[in-house]
Structure 1
Amino acid sequence: MRALPALITALTALGAYYVYTPLPSTLSEPWKLMLLDATFRCAQDLSNLAHYFGLSHHLRVLNFVSNYFDQLDPVSSAHLKVTDTVFDGVQVRIFEPDAELDGSLKRAIIYIHGGGWALGSARARSYDTLCRRISEDVNAIVVSIEYRLVPNVHFPEQLNDVYAATKYILLPEVLAKYSIDPERIAVSGDSAGGNLAAAVCQQLTQDTSVTTKVKLQALIYPVLQILDFNTPSYQQNTDMPILSGFVMIKFWLDYLNGSHDFAHAMLVNNHTSLDISETVALRERLNWDSLLPPSFKKKYKPVFQSVGSPSVVHGVPALLDIRASPLIAHKEILQKLPKTYVLTCEHDVLRDDGTMYAKRLEEAGVDVTHDHYEDGFHGCMLFAAWPTYFSAGARTREGYINWLKENL
């Protein structure tokens, strides 16, 4: 019996060690974030263990664990019709508010969920709740796209799914079927979904077969480039909860079907060193020394390696593809993009991706609204209700929805 107190003490200490992470005081509710992050890391550790023993791919396990109790059937309410259907071979969930009595056309938002191109779902409680809220508050039809995920498919299949569904929605007969106003359509997404939303909007500007133009794009803490993992936000937030720099690199490698053996080389920018001619010109388009404000740059210095690892570029050729990294698109493409909303969070490795994109769009003549949240963290917009309520989540969601209401 005397061993029991010692065992309890040891387990308590181990639990505290697992949960506790030093966090900036400016973060929204840091202790709550520590507990949330510990839950995520526990799920990741279990999935990695299953992968190690050959039971299944770690991302399949992680998706199963995260979605087992979280998948929702389409449930309509008195004022909102929710249905699952298929657009050009791609599954979507549609949220339709009550039709206007005067028969007027409705606004529409095409929403693309995040999750590192490998996790998440239009059917997940978090995204179902978010899209319901958007549809009700904006009084707009929301089409949430259920694209295929890693490891079942890799780049560019996720983008192909989203693009196919988006083009289908923009067909005149589909717009008419759902009473959508062709002049009031937005494309939006968060994190990896923000990446896909940005890439879709860029592709639409090049596709002459599409006659309906998107009015807005709204990008929520988007991931937009794979060439520099030492921007100030990556350096500042490399070990931040929810999304660390190393985890983001592994998501990228899984998406582009590259080996995790390249991760450590990419962490120090060996994949874009000065001796790799293919990447030098592309790095110039994300010169954060000129694209970021001093308050973001602080005292951080750019990381350019003289001699790097060309095997990464050869092993992962898609890292040079603009469709994967919308931030490095030519100015001629950016000039054609619609009015844009970019949301970034201070405590997020992706903060500078969104900020640099907003700046490049402004320089190309695009009307841009950039909302930055000093106490925000990656993914916070999904945490705006009990039991994972964060004040930053509620405020980011409110700001995003208000912008849509005012501009769409």
Structure 2
Amino acid sequence: MSLSTNCPLCGSTDFETFFTLPRVPVICNQLWPDDAAARAAPTGAIDLAVCRSCACIWNSAFDPERMRYSPGYENALHFSPTFRAFADELAADLVDRFDLKGRTVIDIGCGDGHMLDLLSRHGAAEAIGFDPSMEGVTSPFTEREGVEIVPEYFRSEQLDRPFDAIVCRHVLEHLDEPRAFLKDIRAAIGDRDVPVYIEVPNARWMLDASSMWDVIYEHVGYWTEPSLVTLFRRAGFEPTQVREGYGQQFLMIEARPGTADPYYLHPDTRSVLRLASAFGEFARTDLKVWRSRIGALEGRAVIWGAGSKGISFANALHLSGQEIAAFVDLNERKQGLVAPGVGVPIVAPDALGEIAPSLVLISNAQYLDEITAQTRGMGLDPAFAVVTG
């Protein structure tokens, strides 16, 4: 199916484009060793579309052939105390409510295995993950007995062992064929009563907050509750709970296997269509406001957070090293590398003393208190501005 002519959820051709970015890094979480490589990073276009039938939102300009996840892809958030607390509470809750103590859980798209380790710590006997970006990479999170990472893309035939729950966090938004993926998970479960937990960025929060910096090429899909429930019911799952988390920025769905309803449509789609239309109008204005503010800045600025929000912000505004001295990030695996597109280096927080920024741009308000406290604890007193949230 071509994403340029059909909705990837319901197949409809009745959709509208409401936001565009002509040139963005294809993989904004793929960092580079030097300025030249970062500036030569592959780019693509974003034409954000919304389906008038099912309210699915996706990048109709997305080309799956351009996506090549490999070692060096880095989007771990667990270097932040704020995120670690969230993840630990989530793991404990899943083990408790899914009755996973002494049992086996599968994590599809497990990254470096941080969640696998947490699930094991809270009582799971086996925590097995699948992630192709871990090929040839070692992780401290697999040192516990029973924790394993298979460095491959998930396929239903790989689950030829007993398992008691499936977890999949921040994967669905990367897939150009989400129905096929959910059906593959449903096939792996078969006639067993196995719970499924899937977590994605919350597109309704993105639309409400007019956070265009959450629009990145590697995310082909942007999920709201109506489209996510529609996907699950069409793929043969019965949703049991849908909720928001992490400051409403994440959308979390739990489901049990059921009977597929291939024509299901969620009753609340109009609100998503209204939000999408308003998002496009606000985003165009917000771009102009930020360009003016950065252009008038006296002194040096840094962006704290070399993740998708911060890197998207810098690229959408076409910022350079003259306007942004550095990205700051707690993730040691990012430090010393260079952000794609803009070619701005990533440094540790202790580099702020030498940079002496007059402005710290915080890419995600979720970390506002954490970042301001750490910066002022270093004896610095810059202005702070939140990019989104």
TM-score by length of 2: 0.32
Q: Which has the higher helix share?
A: 1
TM-score by length of 1: 0.31
